[in-house]
Amino acid sequence: MEILEIIKNRRSIRKFKEDPIAKDIIDKLVEALIWAPSAGNLQSRKFYFVFNEQLKKELSKAALFQTFISKAPLVIIGCTNERISTRYGKRGRELYTICDVAASIQNLMLLAHSEGLGTCWVGAFSEKNVSKILELPKHLRPIAIVPVGYPAHIPNPPKRCSKEDAIKFII
């Protein structure tokens, strides 16, 4: 698949098959996360790969009871890492480390789609509850939950705004 095809055909998947994900694909997901760029190459991010059924259920409760999350064989939680990002001060903690995590997650979603896997970027959840469930150390802040699994339903592409609205050219 051409990269632009991967980018355009990726959808947010909210219904998963039970099929597990093979070890070699998990390894690729890890590589995709690690090789995203980061501010000053500090890589101020950390990812939790949750396969545990009980924890997945608790995570979906913490995400406003979006139960589809727990149905995915793998749930990834992306965290900023304040111990590292603070090297760039307030801007590091409030901007760079979020971008570090987000760039990794976008890599992950594209890689997953190219392998026939579905993902969904979930941002609406209680950070406090997720931190408690995963027993996160204080310097890690969970900012995204991404269930990963084989899609049981692929929705139609949602509308995108026009190029004119998205981009301004200055010649």
Q: Is 30 in the site for its own copies (CB under 8 A)?
A: yes
Q: Does 167 bind its own copies (CB under 8 A)?
A: yes
- Of the pair 19, 49, the CB lying nearest its own copies is at 49
Residue with Cβ nearer its own copies (124 or 138): 124
Nearest to 122 by CA among 66, 79, 51, 40: 66
What is the bridge-based pairing of β-strands 45-50 and 118-119?
A: unpaired
Q: Pick the stretch among 14-22, 61-69, 163-171 that binds its own copies (CB under 8 A).
A: 163-171
Q: Count of residues for the chain?
A: 171
Task: Compose the 64-103 pattern: x for residues touching its own copies by CB under 8 A, - for all others.
Answer: ---------------------------x--xxx-xx--xx
- Collapse the DSSP code of 154 into the 3-class scheme (helix H, G, I; strand E, B; otherwise coil) and give the result: coil
Query: Residue 99, class by beta-carbon neighbours within 10 Å (0-12 exposed, 13-18 middle, 19+ buried)?
Result: middle
Amino acid at 37: P
For residue 79 the two structure tokens come to 């965290």
Residue placing its CB nearer to its own copies in the complex, 65 or 135: 135
Q: Are 97 and 45 in contact (CB under 8 A)?
A: yes
The identity of residue 115, as a single letter, is E
Q: Which residues bind its own copies (CB under 8 A)?
A: 1-4, 6-8, 10, 12, 28, 30-37, 39, 41, 43, 45-52, 55, 91, 94-96, 98-99, 102-103, 105-107, 109-111, 114, 121, 123-124, 134, 143-144, 158-161, 163, 166-171
